[in-house]
Amino acid sequence: MKNTFSFELQKTDGAARTGVIRTPRGEVRTPAFMPVGTAATVKAMMPESVAETGADILLGNTYHLMLRPTAERIDRLGGLHRFMNWDRPILTDSGGFQVMSLSGLRKLTEDGVTFKSHIDGSKHVLSPETSMEIQRLLGSDIVMCFDECPALPADKSRIADSMRLSMRWADRSRAAFGDRPGHALFGIQQGGLEEDLRAESAEALQQIGFEGYAVGGLAVGEGQEAMFGCLDFAPGQLPVDKPRYLMGVGKPDDIVGAVKRGIDMMDCVLPSRSGRTGQVFTRHGVVNIKNARHADDPRPLDDTCRCPACRNYSRAYLHHVFRSQEMISGMLLTWHNLTYFQDIMQGMRAAIAAGTFDAWEADFHAGRAAGDI
């Protein structure tokens, strides 16, 4: 096993790209979707089941794990991969986004963020230096810079100030990360929806130099049209030969539109969280399994889907166990949604490799009835 991290761009079709990220813990086929494993578990899923959906990599949340069970305890127990029994690559976020949305009594300064745990009120500090140390203790393969993600809407000067703070933090993250063969540090582009600020951020990050680059600060309420407008220029401002990771996205059509515009990696809680709330994604659109009209329906969710929910159960059964709040409901619907998301990624990888992305995209949109089906 070579102790190196590399990205090979294999084919492009318009702005869409397909390739492979090679890490000591295995390869990540791109475009890639990362299931979210917040508290060292993809909720309602065994790791073996997550692997069976086709996921090559998953995401861990620094904010949650530093509070409980703590990064030091996970390190003592052999690191996050051993702890959660996932031996493929893991990307951890820096905690910067979640500390601003989940913690209490926060104080943000040039140094970083002091905050109180939402679990027990204990005091903590997140900074470029502490975030790098926490992610090192977790043992993640891809580490994210510690940055600030401003809530939109915000005026341009606020967005500019926030982006420039994040660039100073990117520099400190790089310095604190140190020399770690086989591991990667990704920079995060900020700058809101402003093309000039995004360009300044991309330039600053490239001056520092990273193994991959994220487009941050989106999917924060701007809406799909504004997000796509930003993605029409932001990925192209980043190095062509490094992975481009769009954070926190998204619905199936968001994912397709992002890949179309040059994004290689994404993560989102949607497929797993929705699975627990009865929202099921299919190639014909969204099914709300709670709806009474499924109570006697003997058909599978999708008779072309390879997942256990579609192979072995009827909509009537899935309706019943959801209504009865049985644990198998969250398991089966999460398993289905993650499988569907991975099948979208596989479809796009194959289409880009064959130069038929536009036709694949047209077919993807044609199949989706409006609303419930």
Ligand X SMILES: CNc1nc2cc(C(=O)NN)ccc2[nH]1
In angstroms, rounded to a whole number, what is the distance separating the alpha carbons of residues 214 and 237?
11
DSSP string, 12-52: EETTEEEEEEEETTEEEEESEEE-B-TTSS-TT--HHHHHH
Considering the complex, what minimum distance in angstroms separates the CB of residue 193 from ligand X? 13
Considering the complex, what minimum distance in angstroms separates the CB of residue 270 from ligand X? 8
**Does residue 310 contact residue 301 with C-beta atoms inside 8 Å?**
yes
Q: List the catalytic residue out of 56, 141, 264, 267.
A: 267
CA quadruple 128, 131, 133, 139: dihedral, nearest 10: -130
Whichever of 193 and 309 has its CB closer to ligand X, that residue is 193
Considering the complex, what minimum distance in angstroms separates the CB of residue 373 from ligand X? 25
Whichever of 44 and 100 has its CB closer to ligand X, that residue is 100
Long-range contacts: 348-356, Cβ < 8 Å, 24+?
348/16, 348/18, 348/31, 348/256, 348/259, 349/18, 349/29, 349/30, 349/31, 351/13, 352/11, 352/12, 352/13, 352/16, 352/17, 352/18, 352/31, 352/259, 353/10, 353/11, 353/18, 355/11, 355/13, 356/13
Whichever of 165 and 353 has its CB closer to ligand X, that residue is 165
Let me know if 358 is a catalytic residue. Answer: no
Considering the complex, what minimum distance in angstroms separates the CB of residue 295 from ligand X? 33
Whichever of 166 and 339 has its CB closer to ligand X, that residue is 166
Considering the complex, what minimum distance in angstroms separates the CB of residue 248 from ligand X? 2
- Is residue 2 classed exposed, middle or buried when 0-12, 13-18 and 19+ CB atoms within 10 A define those classes? exposed
Whichever of 217 and 262 has its CB closer to ligand X, that residue is 217
Considering the complex, what minimum distance in angstroms separates the CB of residue 82 from ligand X? 26
Let me know if 93 is a catalytic residue. Answer: yes
Q: List the catalytic residue out of 56, 93, 141, 147.
A: 93
Closest CB to ligand X: residue number: 248
For residue 160, the number of C-alpha atoms closer than 13 Å in the C-beta half-sphere is 8
Write down the residue that tokens 């703590």 correspond to: 70
Whichever of 70 and 101 has its CB closer to ligand X, that residue is 101
Binding site for ligand X (CB under 6 A): 96-97, 147, 149, 188, 216-217, 219-220, 247-248
- Residue 152 φ/ψ, nearest 5 degrees: -100, 155
What residues act catalytically? Answer: 93, 267
